[in-house]
Amino acid sequence: WELIQLLSRLRDKRGRVRIPGFYKRVKPPTREELKSIREIRIDYKRLMQQLGIREVRHKTAYQALRELVFEPTCNIAGLASGHVGKGAKTITPSLASVKIDFRLVPGQRPEEVLESLRRFVKRFGDFDINVYTMLPPARCRPGSPVVKAAVEAAVEIYGVKPNVFPSMYGTGPLASIVKHGIDAGMLNSISNPESNLHAPNENIMKKDLMRSTLQLASMFRRLAT
């Protein structure tokens, strides 16, 4: 029950993290970054229907994208305790555990967030915290030469202008590149609506792999001239 009480206080109903000081260092998006998500083409209503979502907190795609791209998160990846198999078991669990991940944004420091979390957790009981990995956040400027070359190459190969997300809502080593002043931290992904990312039978289409290879070749050619 102590763990449940802790988890119920980590976020409010709007998804805002309640850890004191969590948002203190968050850098607000620039005009260039906001402009890039305004240009993202997405059928918001159709997407919600495809995902089976009936109620959403944001009325427009822009509002949803702004939070998705520029706001940090706190996510429960899994919970474990007691007996959850078939049949009845009248027991008092001796152990409960939860796996949590935080997606940080530029300005936030992983070490500071971890220390704030430790202080917050102490208010709810005697918990052990095991840290698996920590990576600093990073963001690539939408108007950088690398992004410009990638967009031009995509138009050449695919015939359409791609959507440009200033931040990848995931984890990666891009900060190790950006911190040296190399404005080239970018992910050029290959997927389809049924790729099943990070799930069983994850897949990509051969034709998409070939076209992506051509796009990368075109991008490198543009950067070399």
Angle between helices 61-70 and 31-38 (to 10 degrees): 130
CATH of domain 2-122: 3.30.70.360
* Tally of CB atoms within 10 A around 102: 19
> According to the model, what pLDDT value does residue 14 have?
87
> According to the model, what pLDDT value does residue 132 have?
94
> According to the model, what pLDDT value does residue 225 have?
77
Could you say which residues of the chain have pLDDT below 50?
Answer: none
Cβ contacts of 8 within 8 Å, gap of 6 or more: none
Residue pLDDT, tens place only, 160-212: 999 998 887 777 788 888 778 777 677 777 888 789 888 899 999 999 999 99
Half-sphere exposure of 90 (CA within 13 A, CB side): 0
Label residue 89 exposed, middle or buried (CB < 10 Å: 0-12, 13-18, 19+). Answer: exposed
Element of type H or E holding 98: strand 96-103
Q: Report whether CATH 1.10.3470 matches the domain 145-224.
A: no
Specify whether the CB–CB gap between 165 and 68 falls below 8 A. Answer: no
> According to the model, what pLDDT value does residue 108 have?
96
Distances (CA, A) of 208 to 47, 67, 158, 161, 189: 22, 29, 10, 16, 10
Domain 2-122 and domain 145-224 have a common topology: no
Domain segments of the chain as ranges: 2-122, 145-224
138: closest CA among 190, 111, 103?
A: 103
> According to the model, what pLDDT value does residue 190 have?
84
> According to the model, what pLDDT value does residue 63 have?
93
